[in-house]
Amino acid sequence: MAPADLETFRADARAWLAEHAGLRGVDADSDSASIAFADIDDTDRLERGRAWQRELHAGGWAGLGWPVEYGGRDLPLSFQAVWAQELSAAGAPPPINLLGEAVAGPTILTHGTADQQRRFLPPILTAKEIWCQLFSEPGAGSDLAAVSTRATRDGDGWVVEGHKIWSSGAHYADRAVLLARTDSHVSKHEGCTYFLLDMHQPGITVRPVRQMTGGAAFDEVILDGARIADEDRLGPEGGGWAVARTTLAHERLQLGLGLARAGGSVERILSELRARGVADDPIVRQMAAQLVIDARCAQILGWNLLGRRLLEGGGPPGPEAAVAKLASGRVTRRYDELAEAMRGAGAMVNDGYTRLQLWAPAARIAGGTDEVLKDVIAERVLGLPRSG
């Protein structure tokens, strides 16, 4: 579509958000991606999140890239990036079912049968069914193909035994995407199968993982005899790694969208800086300048990611995603440092900011630790010898 159409879209998004986002009661410290997931004991946030996603869906702002027949608008990435920017600039929260809309749904669209798409896709955009991701394990994080959770054939279905960890929103999820080992006699990549799991059944124990924020937005999940019908297997038996690569590619696509919207929170904190009358403080000014520089670089990386044919084609994430992830963590830390400097002792009594400050170290861990990402960059970008 022509640039004028994109600008019309931006104006429509901005007008809709101006009318609706203020009703969410969101403050300037609460647009961290972490709080898309409600704490185990924050049922009010969960219900507000469901209501907000229903409102987004009713307004035509959910599933922008989805096919029209499943409730989307079939818009290209440039429009999705503009929406992400405007959502951030308005201080509005992301959808509560972000993983379902942005990761699980697109994976089902790519690999699912017509019956699976008919059954699983419609409830996602309205948050009627919220999804989580059961990938990482205590011994399989950065090396995801090393999963040891087993799915064993049992009649016309599967029985699952294993242990997953760092599963955001699992305590309130209705369904999950699950990567499990179905054959231990072949290579680790060939022995995995991908499933769509009903979380409301016996044999599933969800244990919240308390963070130093005091909350618990993610969990460990014990699978002890949980059952999956074979019709809920996504892709062929033993073909789970190819399906998981699609999921990972869409995760990196969300990283690109997140970086493209980095300017929204920066503009808000700069407005607060001026309102507090500390814009003349030389230390604060230097920190603000560094935040703006890092955020602008992150935005450029985000746009580059969005433009990669690799991601648009559902291929595996490349080394450029590691660079972008490091940039994202740096912006989070710069934001945190500036907020602390300009608020001084007042930062310690601001509950919203305190939560954000305590969450900030997670930016170095979630989605791949800084150390692992630097190894990826060293080996796959710079061509240096493998570490170890």
Residue 82 domain flag: yes
Q: Are residues 184 and 285 in the same domain?
A: no
Of 212, 240, 268, which closes a domain? 240
Cα–Cα distance list, 367 to 153, 254, 261, 308, 372 (Å): 31, 11, 18, 19, 10
Residue 385 domain flag: no
CATH code at position 259:
1.20.140.10
Q: Are residues 264 and 357 in the same domain?
A: yes
Confidence of residue 154 (pLDDT cuts 50, 70, 90): very high
What pLDDT shows up at residue 29?
A: 41
Within 121-275, where are the H helices? 122-125, 240-260, 263-275
**Number of domains the chain contains:** 3
Residues in Cβ contact with 378 at an 8 Å cutoff, skipping those fewer than 6 apart: 384, 387
Residue 386 domain flag: no
What pLDDT shows up at residue 268?
A: 80
Q: Are residues 235 and 258 in the same domain?
A: no
Of 96, 125, 154, which closes a domain? 125
Of 204, 224, 240, which closes a domain? 240
N-terminal to C-terminal alpha carbon distance within the chain: 49
Q: Are residues 282 and 299 in the same domain?
A: yes
Q: Which two tokens stand for residue 157?
A: 């279905």
Q: Are residues 152 and 112 in the same domain?
A: no
pLDDT exceeds 80 at position 357: no
Which tens digits make up the pLDDT trace of 47-95?
Answer: 888 999 999 999 999 999 999 999 999 998 888 888 988 888 887 888 8
Which tens digits make up the pLDDT trace of 20-56?
Answer: 986 444 443 444 334 445 565 677 888 888 999 999 9
Residue 387 domain flag: no
This prediction has a pTM of 0.83
Helix (H) or strand (E) segment spanning residue 321: helix 319-343
Question: Is the CA virtual torsion 340, 342, 345, 348 positive or negative?
Answer: negative
Q: Are residues 248 and 344 in the same domain?
A: yes
**Enzyme catalytic residues:** 251
Q: Are residues 315 and 348 in the same domain?
A: yes
Q: Are residues 247 and 375 in the same domain?
A: yes
Report DSSP letters for 66-78, one per residue: S-GGGT-----HH
Residues in Cβ contact with 324 at an 8 Å cutoff, skipping those fewer than 6 apart: 252, 255, 256, 259, 298, 301, 302, 304, 305
What pLDDT shows up at residue 316?
A: 45
Q: Are residues 348 and 300 in the same domain?
A: yes
CATH code at position 47:
1.10.540.10
What pLDDT shows up at residue 3?
A: 43
Provide the residue range defining the domain that includes 190.
Answer: 131-240
CATH code at position 224:
2.40.110.10
**Maximum average pLDDT range among 83-92, 148-157, 271-280, 304-313:** 148-157
Average pLDDT, the chain: 84
Burial of residue 369 (CB within 10 Å: 0-12, 13-18, 19+) is middle
Residue 275 domain flag: yes
Q: Are residues 262 and 358 in the same domain?
A: yes
Residue 33 domain flag: yes
What pLDDT shows up at residue 37?
A: 53
Residue 179 domain flag: yes
What pLDDT shows up at residue 1?
A: 44
pLDDT exceeds 50 at position 310: no
Residue 102 domain flag: yes
Q: Are residues 95 and 135 in the same domain?
A: no
